[in-house]
Chain A
Amino acid sequence: MKHYAQAFDAFNKNAEDGWLKSQRIAAFARFEHLGFPTPSVEYWKYTDTKALAKREFKLATGYDQQAAAELLKAKGLKLDAHRLVFVDGLLSSELSNLEGLQDAVVIEPLSQALATELELTSGMMGRLAGIDVDVFTALNFAFVSEGVVVRVGANQKVNKPLLVTYLSTATEEVMSHPRILIAAGASSELQLIEHFIGADEAKNFTNRVVEGVMERNAKIHHTLLQQPSDKEWWVGRIQIEQKRDSRYTSHQMNLGGKLVRDDLVCDLNGEGAECDFSGLLFGRNRQHLDIHTLVNHNAPLTNSYETYKTILNDRSQGVFNSKVIVKKDSQKIHAVQNNANLLLSDQAQINAKPELEIYADDVKCAHGATTGQLDMDALFYLMARGIGEEEARGLLTLAFANEVIDKLELPEIYNLVETTVAGQLPHKIELELTQ
């Protein structure tokens, strides 16, 4: 922990006096008070982060531009998108491109927003993910300096997806604390894709926070694609506040990391608000992957849907915890939580816990969690048709994940996830030919 204090002093002492500096001090004090959670903390029962306390992560001061460009070229998504690229937490202007934004849409690096529009930015920061939310959020606030600010005016559909790419390079062990702030105006639409790419030998710690406020009838389509190296730590929090008739969808594709923990929270505060979460956790080796979701049905006539699948190989561990809270007087709500887990090895382990807390009486809620292994009869059937064992296993594994990966609308992400899950399958059937 001493190391974090040193890093914090060095980071904040030269900052300009004012709101941000004092907020960071308060945040760091909060972090020091709480410390990294151990399994004795209920919310972290199955995910032990105390090893983080011993690590000596530094804040990056620079990066190898060529290596970053190569990593992005090799693994980055080739989408027509507004792009922001961060390398070990630092903005890469060379790799970013925000040209062609429409007038009523602001997308800018957080550092720029803090420098030029402090008042506006400070009103957005910590509103949903303040220092009291959790220790990592406090830590993020203490070191906050870079990230993205998105403001979408009323009735605006952002003309291209926003692609935020985090490159994690393999130099010294660094930490970064990016924060994304979103204000989605009434009836606006935004597609946000976050892509985390770790270099093979990267050993970094990324602690990212997203807070988004959605006005009436706003839509956000959010995809998080995580490809950290086997030695990386990722902790993420997404906090969304939804007003009347807004719709938030989240697709999370967690394809590994040493320890990956995500918290996704939606407050459904207005009638007609709806959130739809889906995700895949795909673990190998000794990876530890954890997803916690929380939906607060704070208003009547709100809906939430969750479908998460976990596939665990080798000695990997998964944690799935989803909680739905229906407030008193939140009548006529519909909440569905689905969780299915596939263990591909005897040593893999999953802790799954869907929870419902209902204080209203006229609600429709369903939840279920199942855990199993590959169906050996199905495997035999495929092999008895001539399909090799490896391909047959891949096919069945993919079939298990289909329900969540079929929701991925971008073919490039779909293909990447498919290849990761199933290995190289023979190319897909061209569906249009079957009509």
Chain B
Amino acid sequence: MIEIKDLHAKVEGKPILKGLSLSIKPGEVHAIMGPNGSGKSTLSAVLAGRSDYEVTSGTVTFFGEDLFAMSVEERACAGLMLAFQYPVEIPGVKNVYLLKAALNAQRKARGEPEIEAPAFMKLVREKLQFMKIDNSFLHRAVNEGFSGGEKKRNEILQMLILEPKLVLLDEIDSGLDIDALKVVAEGVNSLRDAGRSFLMITHYQRLLDYIEPDFVHVLNDGQIIKTGDKSLALELEDRGYDWVVEETA
């Protein structure tokens, strides 16, 4: 699904990713863990297309297409979705409008007709219920005045409605209490299927208790230095990162 090869990227002139390679196949769930400053968030930002990150070398193909040749919205329409670590507040733009505009933009890109209003509302209500979000949410501005947990739930709600093929979950667990984490994890798990993949970026093993990964990668200084299964995450939780760094040095 996505093939990242020897990716190098800079932020404000400073190299952050230094030869990162990763391959994700349909249906797989990957987790990337690593100490602060290892490049975790840079990876998601580069993949989503943030302009303040400069890719200096390496390639990324998404369903065989050159990802870097695609605009931000083209990537989204092709099925890539970044669930933000810090979802931005957008005063004046209602959630319902964002959801409809985004869904229709993606449908249009796939050559499908716009969704009819009744079908759209049915879909949205169903997903709201699933995410335990009140209907009044639709008429609130995007993330405005939301708690940290509400913002994260909103990201997952958007995911449920847009049904992307590859989801980047950037520290989706940060700032969540256990109950909110369960709701978020249920949302993610409900979408798991043979054709859809997830890349989770996290600090905490806790998330992986609720969303079980097929692979766990350790990112350090801009490179993946170790890959294992979910037992690796448990080991990292126990022993920290230093031993991995030393082992691979």
Contact = CB atoms under 8 A, between A and B. Distances in A.
Interface of A: 375, 377-378, 380-389, 391-392, 395-396, 398-400, 402-403, 425-426, 428-430, 433-434
A398 B73 contact: no
A375 B90 contact: yes
Interface residues of B, number: 42
Contacts of B77: 386
A381 B97 CA distance: 14
Contacts of A389: 71-73
Contacts of B135: 434
Given A380-B50, A386-B109, A399-B91, A429 B100 contact: yes
Given A395-B97, A399-B93, 7 more contacts: A381-B84, A381-B88, A384-B48, A385-B76, A399-B92, A400-B92, A434-B135
Contacts of A383: 49, 71-73, 76
B76 A375 contact: no
Nearest to A397: B92
B176 interface: no
A386 B138 CA distance: 19
Interface stretch (B28-36, B113-121, B177-185): B113-121
A384 B117 contact: no
B72 A403 contact: no
Nearest to B168: A384
A395 B93 contact: yes
Contact of A386 (B50, B91, B105): B105
Interface string B90-104: 111110111011101
Nearest to A430: B117
B205 to A, nearest CB: 28
Contact of A388 (B73, B114, B138): B73
A24 B51 CA distance: 63
Contacts of B90: 375, 378, 381-382, 396, 399
A381 B82 CA distance: 9
Closest 4 interchain pairs by CB? A399-B92, A386-B76, A385-B102, A383-B72
Nearest to B114: A426
Nearest to A399: B92
A175 to B, nearest CB: 39
Contacts of A391: 101, 105
B158 interface: yes
B65 to A, nearest CB: 16
A383 B73 CA distance: 5
Nearest to B89: A378
B106 interface: yes
Contacts of A433: 117-118, 121
A245 to B, nearest CB: 33
Contacts of B93: 378, 382, 395-396, 399
A385 B118 contact: no
Nearest to B82: A384
A392 B88 CA distance: 14
B132 interface: no
B87 interface: yes
Contacts of A382: 90, 93, 98, 101-102
A429 B97 contact: yes
A200 B51 CA distance: 39
B135 to A, nearest CB: 7
B139 interface: yes
B234 to A, nearest CB: 32
Interface in B103-141: 104-106, 109, 114, 117-118, 121, 135, 138-139, 141
B109 A385 contact: no
Contacts of A384: 48-49, 72-73, 75-76, 81-82, 84
Contact of B105 (A377, A378, A387, A396): A387
B81 to A, nearest CB: 8
A426 B106 CA distance: 13
Contacts of A375: 88, 90
Interface string B15-36: 0000000000000000000000
A430 to B, nearest CB: 5
B210 to A, nearest CB: 25
A433 to B, nearest CB: 5
B190 to A, nearest CB: 20
B117 to A, nearest CB: 5
Nearest to A398: B92
